[in-house]
Structure 1
Amino acid sequence: MLLELFSANQSPAVIQLFTEVFSDSEGKEEGQLIGHLVTDIVANTKAEDLIGFVALEDKEIVASIFFSRLVLPNKQAGYILSPVAVATRQQGKGVGQKLINAGIKHLRALGGEVLVTYGDPSFYSKVGFSQISQDMIKAPLVLSHPEGWLAQSLSEEPLVPITGETACIEALNHQKYW
């Protein structure tokens, strides 16, 4: 399995991957929603605000992940992990964890300090995330499942409460994703 940085010429295959994976797991409507999200992310996010990775097996993209800028009121270098998809036939083999860990290593090398995500605590706890409250870091929008608000420090310093509003990239800045 080869992990590499996402490039724009991979967009069609990556969009198809996200659409198929979320259709398989959550239904066709959710697959279309997440496919549209990824289309918006890759087409409309400034390059300096987006980092993506793909996992390839026999030159086929079998997983992908995106990290985008999260503006924090204390000016720390923040990122949000969203979304991530692993081809249905590849799930349960640790591919998602490898992608996440590669992304975390890359963000640390760039000087990233805080990483948040919104997802399943039992999965994301395997790669260093812990549940946080809105008192620790406020989500950019209202959370429909507050228990899924997760974070980790990318530096040697522990997470500390950050007071104030946060902001995500425009593609994620829609209540339907929260």
Structure 2
Amino acid sequence: MSSEMIALFTQTFSDSEGEAEGKTIGLLVGDLLTTTPEQELKGFVAKQGERLIAGVLFTPLSFENGEVGYLLSPMATLTECQGKGVGQALINFGLEHLKQQGIELVFTYGDPNFYSRVGFQQVTEAQFKAPHTLSFPHGWLAQSLAGELTPIQGSSSCVQGLDSPAYW
């Protein structure tokens, strides 16, 4: 499954952002799948028959005060399957799974217009510090799976695969 997952992300990001970005995200997915402890990595896929058409990964985002949320990154839906609700349904499935496991906070770094459709809202680094300086602060998003968003003071850290300023 990991080679299929890497291929999905590489192709999707190559189509939308160019070949170099596709390779970068493919490598990121490979790193996340191989370096993140199995019990911490939450991955979900959507298939059409035997074909993988969408995937999303969630990994821990730990705060200085001991609180742990999860970070949705990355997410991909094959270009020809976009605009049909597949990605949103997959994210909602993943969020429900996290909620059932007692996870209360989920973050992502992406397009507010897309992620607001699945419950995310823009937050600031004053509310929740990202692991690295954000190149697009308006893309820092969060949602509470247990009520209201309550800011957390102090720094945060992510898993090894995402721990590079290049992704932020």
Give the residue type in structure 1 aligned to 2:20: E
Report the counterpart of residue 105 of structure 1 in structure 2.
96
**Structure 1: which 5+ residue stretches go unaligned?**
1-9
What does the per-residue CA deviation read over 1:136-162, in whole Å, with 9 as the maximum and x for residues that have no partner? Answer: 100000100000000000113x11111
Aligned match for 1:159, one of 149, 152, 155 = 149
What does the per-residue CA deviation read over 1:14-34, in whole Å, with 9 as the maximum and x for residues that have no partner? Answer: 100100000000000000000
RMSD: 0.8
Residue aligned with 2:156, SS: coil
Are 1:34 and 2:25 matched, yes or no?
yes
Give the residue type in structure 1 aligned to 2:99: R
Give the residue type in structure 1 aligned to 2:15: D
| Whole-Å separation in 1 of the counterparts to 2:40 and 2:134 | 22
Give the residue type in structure 2 aligned to 1:76: E
TM-score normalized by structure 2? Answer: 0.98
Contact kept, 8 Å, 1:62 with 1:87, in 2: the verdict is: yes
Are 1:172 and 2:166 matched, yes or no?
no
TM-score normalized by structure 1? Answer: 0.93
Residue aligned with 2:8, SS: helix
Give the residue type in structure 1 aligned to 2:125: Q
Equivalent runs, 1:25-174 vs 2, <5 Å:
25-156=16-147, 158-174=148-164
| Whole-Å separation in 1 of the counterparts to 2:15 and 2:77 | 11
| Whole-Å separation in 2 of the counterparts to 1:170 and 1:95 | 28
Contact kept, 8 Å, 1:76 with 1:113, in 2: the verdict is: no
Q: How many pairs align? A: 168
Deviating beyond 6 angstroms after TM superposition, the runs of 4 or more aligned structure 1 residues are none
